[in-house]
Amino acid sequence: MTKETIAILGGTGPEGAGLAMRWAAAGYPILIGSRDAARAEATAADLRSKVPGATIDGAVNREATEKADLVVLTTPYAGQAPTLADVAPALQGKILVTAVVPLDPAAKRRVPNMPGGPAAVQAQQQVGEGVRVVAAFQNVGAHQLQDPN
């Protein structure tokens, strides 16, 4: 059975890299998405060293989205709208899992009652009805994801 290819947009950050490492260890082909292809490939190379034999490649966000079966968004909240604007055409017909949570930088916690609704609701509005948006992984810390034990 062939496993679906998962693109992680924001995969160069701690949460995205942690999810990538775990899914790669489970045998899923991973595409690390970033605005910077070189940074995406550097993260992919680092993860391949941690998960020998894994299929992990880096690409710009749009290319990663086009090649993926499932897309996961792990950017900071400020990066959600520009990232989704870039990849929305390539997302059509796919599932987008968003781990994005608006944070208050001073308090280091979730911002309650966002004017546009939760980040996942905003994401759905940004990408349109042709994409199924699901919110997940918002309660799991990056340090936990990166610990293989």
pLDDT in tens, 51-74: 999 999 999 999 999 999 999 999
User: What was the pLDDT predicted at 118?
Assistant: 83
Q: Which residues contact 48 (CB under 8 A, 6 or more apart)?
A: 54, 56
Query: Are the C-beta atoms of residues 57 and 30 closer than 8 Å to each other?
Result: yes
For a pLDDT cut of 70, what percent of the chain falls above it?
85
User: Does the pLDDT value for residue 31 go beyond 70?
Assistant: yes
**Per-residue confidence (pLDDT) for residue 36, from 0 to 100:** 97
Q: Quote the pLDDT of residue 145.
A: 66
141/26: higher pLDDT:
26
* pLDDT of 140 strictly over 70: no
Q: Half-sphere exposure of 12 toward its Cβ, with a 13 Å CA cutoff?
A: 16
Give dist(CA 72, CA 134) in Å, integer. Answer: 9
pTM for this model (two decimals): 0.89
